[in-house]
Amino acid sequence: MKKLKRSINNTMVSGVCGGIGEYFGIDPTIVRIIYVLAAIFSFGTALLIYIILIFIIPKDDGMIDI
């Protein structure tokens, strides 16, 4: 079963968008572009959500889950 984790390979700031991209099987760059557009049009709400996700989503430890 796949688990949502912050990426250690696809990281720009903290790995949240990279982890979401890996979880859904899409390019993390697309997730980042969608996030930037959401941040612009949500007047900062998306930034607050991103900060919360940094603390909620665990960082990938590099171990393979069986």
Does residue 53 belong to any structural domain of this protein? yes
Does residue 27 belong to any structural domain of this protein? yes
Bigger pLDDT: 36 or 66? 36
DSSP classification of residue 22: H
Does residue 64 belong to any structural domain of this protein? no
Containing structural domain, residue 41: 1-59
Rounded to whole angstroms, how far apart are CA atoms 50 and 56? 10
3-state secondary structure of 39: helix
Does residue 28 belong to any structural domain of this protein? yes
User: Is residue 36 within 8 Å of 46, Cβ to Cβ?
Assistant: no
Q: What is the pLDDT of residues 6-44, one digit of tens each?
A: 888 888 888 899 999 999 999 999 999 999 999 999 988
One-letter amino acid of 31: V
* Domains: count for the chain: 1
Does residue 52 belong to any structural domain of this protein? yes
* Most distant pair of Cα atoms in the chain: their distance: 41
- Per-residue confidence (pLDDT) for residue 7, from 0 to 100: 85
Supply the pTM of this predicted model: 0.79
